[in-house]
Amino acid sequence: MPRRRSPWRLVLALLVLAAVGAGVAAAVAGRSGETGSASAPDGPTGTAPGTPSASPSTTPAPPPPPLAGRTVVLDPGHNRDNGRHPGQINRQVDAGGFAKACNTTGTATNSGVPEATVNWELAQEVRVRLEALGARVVLTRQEDAGWGPCIDERAAVANREGAALLLSLHADGVAPGAHGFHVIHPGLRPGWTDDIVVASGQAAVAVRDALVAGGLTPATYTGSEGLDERSDLGTLNNADVPAVMLEAGNLRHAGDAALLTDPAGRARIADALAVAVSRFLAG
């Protein structure tokens, strides 16, 4: 099978070419300036005394990167040590007009790799790509250790930062025969999601389309064509900015688990997510 070209690598290559082109132009302009500053030879080709010298040519500044000035909040779901802190994670918080546990432990692969770690490592891959595209990236947790934060606080981070998008990263843990990704977007909860439900749905479509274009399979067991609308998730319900949650695969399915625990597999997903965020914010 022909090797699939990565859309992330194409975007990065274009940015590099633009930067290199600007550097070459600046070097040429600088060399021209050096030549013009030397003493002119006598004779017809020299500049007559008192003649104003021509203004040096100015090189246009390269365009800003595509996500310059935009803030994206990445939410690596759960945390590695949530299970060691039952009192904290079982505390009830507001999940959008109803109470729900602060957090949960998440799932794991059959070999014991925690979902929280998969989510964290994927977030690092996405972060690198979005920052290369000019975005300011904020994470809802700063390490894969400890517990929390709670689901309401994860949304609050995006709200405080004025994010253009909150992208929550998860993986599922269902029956081993089920596989594929799905993108969850908030349903309408009056007084809670009225202001974000439309934009969040558009972001979900952008994420789904980019993942499909990257060769990933929509979930066979939930949602419709890789999309799932839910009104019971506190992270989405508490957001005041467009917000979606990716379930990147089923960690109990051997193929999905292999993809999500392999650096090359996570890179494929991160490539697609960088394209999705760029397209959503450009629209």
Per the CB < 8 A criterion, the answer to whether 12 and 276 are in contact is no
Pseudo-torsion of CA 83, 86, 91, 92, nearest 10°?
Answer: 60
**Whole-angstrom distance, CA of residue 163 vs CA of residue 76:** 16
| Helix or strand (DSSP H, E) at 18 | helix 7-37
- In the numeric block, which tokens belong to residue 283? 């629209």
Cα 67 to Cα 70: distance, rounded to the nearest angstrom: 6
CA distances to 12, 17, 22, 58 from 26, in Å? 21, 14, 6, 8
Catalytic residue among 115, 121, 153, 247: 247
Please, what's the largest Cα pairwise distance for the chain? 91
Q: Which amino acid is at 66?
A: P
Establish whether 247 is a catalytic residue: yes
Per the structure block, which two tokens stand in for 149?
């934060």
Provide the CA 1 distance to its chain's centre, in angstroms: 28
Active site residues: 247
